[in-house]
Structure 1
Amino acid sequence: MRCLYRICFAYLLLPFMMFCGCGAFGRCEATQQMTPLLIAVNDAPVPFRGSDGLVHLVYELWLTNMSSGEADVEEVEVIGDGAVLEKLDTTGVSHHLQPAGLRESSEVLARGTQSILFLNVVLPNGTQIPKQLLHRIKAHYSAAPPGQQEFVESGGATTPDLQPVMEISAPLRGDGYISADSCCESTRHMRAAMPINGRVYVAQRYAVDWEQLDASNRIYSGPREKLESYTIFGKPVYAVADGVVAVVVTGLPEQTPGKYPANISIEEADGNSIIEDLGGHHFACYAHMQSASIRFHRGDRVKRGQIIGLVGNSGNSVAPHLHFHVMSSELSLASNGLPYQIDEFKITGATPGTKAFDEAEEKGEPITVTPVSPPRVVRDSLPLDQLIVSWTPR
């Protein structure tokens, strides 16, 4: 037993050796394969329909490098019921892999560290939702002996969560709204993995920051630091469904646009806000409103389409907007972010992307909009990122 222990322990120090040698001793039949990369899914994806008409599976793959050197992730395949649904090469991995606790992406896993691969698997039309997802990862390990540095490993098996997707109405009314930082490639919300209460949550996985264009395609016209310069400031916010007020935060001041707030606590991050219990373990968060506009208390009932406040710039906000997301509990950060589908809206255009939008907002310049003509009516879908959307009451 002493000799066997030494042999196996030596192999543990070289995690690229394939077997522990049990067969040579005739003492065990099962193969013991080293897996230097630990692969796991903490929150199974909930399939939903996006405004592109396709079904999306959005979730995070947790990767832990247990080797004594760097691991370069070269390829990731998402396999559903035996078929490859998504394939990321080195470039794709470098855009979606984020070291735990950081917001910069990298395809390199440092030794003894954990990273998160943020995935958006889009199912082609007619594709069945897979019963099981598995992940096959090819990586190069610098600490391995020559000739053994390429390693392919499979893991992270998970079953899509087929819970019903909440159908809601729009939280705003009118034209020219931009679905800023919405699903499914934006880094601000989708990658906001936060350690809260001893667990990592992605409560804002499907969050959106709604902003609004004026007739000149500007976010604001006039002095940037003036709240009233922003088209969306003061617009009514509507309850997206019948429900009960679970949390109310008021009394917080408006922030000065263009300046990042300092020393914002977790409790004040959403600013003046309401969290509404929609039932079925679904909660809607309406954030950054004006304090005096909120006249509800915990336990009050609200009706779909009822005005619950006005758009403001309170809390952790650099410009007036409505932050909205749906989650699994009344805690805006210690929750699992859940998809939702808005009953009907019109897509009238699209921006070139987040970078162009941010630059236009910072400089106060018109943003380039690619019009959709005629406007495309979309039903029972989640608005994807950087769309220009119009809503009318139903």
Structure 2
Amino acid sequence: MKTATNRLLALLLAVASNTQATTPESLQPSFDLRVLDVPQAVTTDAGTQVFEELHLTNFTDVPLRLVRVEVVDAQDGRVLIRFAGDALQHRLAQIGDPATPSDTVIPPGRRGVVYIEWPTPRRRPRAIEHVVTYARLSGAHTDIVHGARTAVSYATGAPLGPPLRGGPWVAIHRADWARGHRRVFDAVGGQARIPGRFAIDWMRVDDAGHTARNDPDVPGHWLGYGAEVLAVADATVVAIRNDMAESPTVSGNPKHMLADDAGNFVTLRLDDGRYAFYEHLRPGSITVHPGQRLRRGDVLAELGFTGVSTGPHLHFHVSDGPSRIGSEGRPFTLARFDLLGNYGDLSELGKAAWTPRPAREDQQRTDEWPAENVVVRFPD
């Protein structure tokens, strides 16, 4: 009897130690915090960064103002990154049209998304939690809510081969662009996803930074137009489109519906289970068909000017499923490329040369994701 009582007491103590105490804070209605997709890490020449999106839905009947958002190591509570003020405002977007003039105020029943990237410390956290400090508009008092605990994925799959040859090519992407690939959700099939979370638009330039010869309004005058597009790994062709016509001028490219925004495309299922997407291809140039087996380096098509495009380029991204807009974007690395420099201000693209990489720094890069707006050369 005594043994049974001791066991029951031990069980009750264990349950009590694992039960979060009820506090005034825990009873305060506020935000529902969610991380819909597992945070994904990727390595560039600047180190490893984790990409994630924190969704905050206001479940109260009053507007709430975000004051601070922190990402902490779930194991020891160490703060990994925090955003407040302008830094937080620039990372916050609300679903739908904002109902208030302040970008940090989330109205009742509305959802905001904080787009977050944070550099990994030497000891990589396996799980993280989020701490949100907020206030009601009626007073200066702040409250805190903890939540959205999640694991972190550091898997990027086997390094990929180049999608193009030679160069220079500009890797166009940037995390803070309001309508950049990294911040565009597609809600199809009952779930909101970011297919282009790690997408890159590849645009060819010459050594002076020009993107076109002669008249840049003619797609065929662009330096990258007609370049051969390559399979980045051993793969099977899943889907293609080869019949969309090109606008005869860049300025006259019409608006496209969501189903047509990729233009002509090729989708590959890589042998490791990931999917690679190539978009804006030249009409009639696709040389592969669904079900065909490919080897890394095989020619798929030619770079063109179809779909939603401001000029001939290759859109490339990797995701976890075969749907171009109904899958989550996944990180990838390229096995090898030369890092020539970068554009600190992309508005200079086509007008001026990029900033060269310092001579003391190694140009040859391996197993990395090209950082934002860098200029690279692929093996020929």
Q: Structure 2-normalised TM-score?
A: 0.87
Corresponding residue number in structure 1 for 2:355: 369
Cα distance between partner residues in 1 of 2:30 and 2:233: 47
1:100 aligned residue = 95
Length, aligned pairs only: 351
Matched, 1:34 2:20: no
1:47 aligns with 2:41: yes
CA change 1:162–1:347 in 2 (3 A) is closer
Per-residue deviation at 1:233? Answer: 0.8
Deviations 1:118-150 (Å, cap 9, x if unpaired)?
A: 1111114xx22212111111112115xx46x41
Contact preservation (8 Å) 1:261, 1:317: no
Name the CA distance, whole Å, in 1 between partners of 2:193 and 2:369.
21
1:345 CA displacement: 0.9
Deviation at 1:40, TM superposition (A): 0.8
Is 1:109 the counterpart of 2:109? The answer is no
| 1:350-385 per-position Cα deviation (integer Å, ceiling 9, x unaligned) | 1113xxx2x345xx5225534442652111011111
Q: Deviations over 1:212-264 (max 9, x none)?
A: 112321122322220122111111111100000001111001133134531x2
2:60 is aligned with 1:78? no
Q: What residue in structure 1 maps to residue 372 of structure 2?
A: 385
Q: Match of 1:351?
A: 343
On the 8 A contact 1:209/1:323 being kept in 2, the answer is: yes
Compared CA separation, residues 136 and 170, structure 1 to 2 (3 A): same
Distance change >3 Å, CA 56–CA 105, structure 1 → 2? farther
- Map 1:1-394; keep pairs closer than 5 Å: 30-31=22-23, 33-52=27-46, 54-80=47-73, 81=75, 82-101=77-96, 106-124=103-121, 127-143=122-138, 146=139, 149-182=141-174, 184-187=175-178, 188-255=180-247, 256-259=249-252, 261-262=254-255, 264-353=256-345, 357=346, 359-361=347-349, 364-373=350-359, 376-393=363-380
Alignment check: 8 A CA contact 1:96 1:105 kept? no
8 A Cα contact 2:320 2:330, kept in partner: yes
Q: Deviations over 1:130-185 (max 9, x none)?
A: 12111111112115xx46x4111111111113445342011011121111115x44
State the 1:105 CA deviation. Answer: 9.7
Deviation at 1:391?
A: 0.9
What is the rounded CA distance, in whole Å, between the counterparts of 2:300 and 2:204 in structure 1? Answer: 19
Q: How many percent of aligned residue pairs carry the same amino acid?
A: 23
Query: Judging changes above 3 Å, is the alpha-carbon distance between structure 1 residues 195 and 360 closer, same or farther for their aligned structure 2 residues?
Result: same
**TM-score, normalized by length of structure 1?**
0.84
- Unaligned 5+ runs, structure 2: 1-20
2:11 paired residue number: none
Q: 1:372 to 1:313 in 2, by over 3 A?
A: farther
Q: Secondary structure at the match of 1:365?
A: coil
The 1:101–1:168 alpha-carbon spacing in structure 2 relative to 1, beyond 3 Å, is farther
CA RMSD of aligned residues (A): 2.1
Amino acid at match of 2:366: R
CA distance in 1, matches of 2:266, 2:51: 26
1:275-331 Cα distance to aligned partner (Å, 9 max, x none): 000033310001001121102111011110111111001011121000000001110
Contact 2:70 2:81 (C-alpha < 8 Å) held by counterparts: yes
CA contact (8 A) 2:250 2:310 kept: yes
Preserved CA contact (<8 Å) 2:56 2:113: yes
Q: Which amino acid aligns with 2:337?
A: F
